[in-house]
Every structure is written in C-alpha cells, then in structure tokens.
C-alpha cells in the first residue's frame, strides 16, 4: 500500500495492516516452536512509520523497530516471550483501531457541519 501524506484513513490503514502482519508472524513463531531449524520471524515498522508525521507514528516506530519487513532472526524461541510480544502487539492494534475510529468520527462530524 502506498501512503499519501495527509490522508488519515490510509495512514491508519497502513498501521493496522503492519500490526496485523506482525500478529501473523508471531503466530507462526508459536506454531513452529518445535519445528527443527525453524528461524523466528518478526515484522518491524519504523521504516514506514517514520515517513508519517504524528506522535502516534513516532511512538509506534520507537517501540516496534527499524526496518518494516518480515525478517528472519536467529533467536531461541520462548513461548512466554512470543506470547508477551503477541499481547503487546494486540494492545497496539486496539490503540490503532481506536485512532482510526476517532479519525472517521471527526471526518463525519466535519461533513455534517459543512452540510
């Protein structure tokens, strides 16, 4: 998805898509924990988020890392660590979803006032 500066709907959609993709990667890590030679995967966001103005994007990019693509990382898998990352990611998704809902509500209000 390409991001258009100033388009709050696309910005929020990109954030939700990235967080959703990370959830899938974490789920795969948990599912493959006992698979021989499996390499942990993760998705990191700041490459995308740093291109967007706004405090939410800045905070998310600081928390979620440097690259923006699924990367293989040679790390020992721990169910507890993966589940903690998954929970944190779920909370970030909730924050991003509420931000999108708020943006849509503001746009509806603006349209109704202008009508």
What is residue 4's three-state secondary structure? coil
Contact 54, 65 (CB under 8 A): no
User: Closest Cα to residue 71, out of 39, 27, 30, 41?
Assistant: 41
> What is the tens place of the pLDDT at every residue in 52-70?
556 655 565 555 554 444 5
Residues β-bridged to residue 69: none
Residue 40: which pLDDT band, with cuts at 50, 70 and 90?
confident
pLDDT at 31: 92
Provide, rounded to the nearest whole percent, the portion of the chain with pLDDT above 90. 3
CA distance 42 to 23: 9
What is residue 1's three-state secondary structure? coil
User: Closest Cα to residue 46, out of 81, 71, 25, 24?
Assistant: 71
Contact 17, 92 (CB under 8 A): no
DSSP code for 69: S
């Amino acid at each position: 998805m390409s991001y258009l500066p100033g388009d709050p709907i696309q910005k929020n959609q990109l954030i939700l898509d990235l967080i959703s993709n990370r959830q899938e990667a974490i789920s795969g890590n948990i599912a493959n924990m006992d698979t021989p030679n499996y390499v942990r995967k993760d998705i990191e966001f700041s490459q995308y988020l740093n291109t967007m103005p706004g405090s939410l994007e800045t905070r998310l990019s600081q928390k979620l890392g440097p690259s923006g693509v699924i990367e293989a990382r040679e790390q020992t898998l721990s169910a507890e660590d993966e589940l903690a990352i998954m929970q944190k990611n779920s909370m970030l998704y909730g924050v991003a979803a509420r931000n999108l809902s708020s943006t849509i509500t503001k746009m509806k209000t603006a349209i109704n006032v202008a009508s």
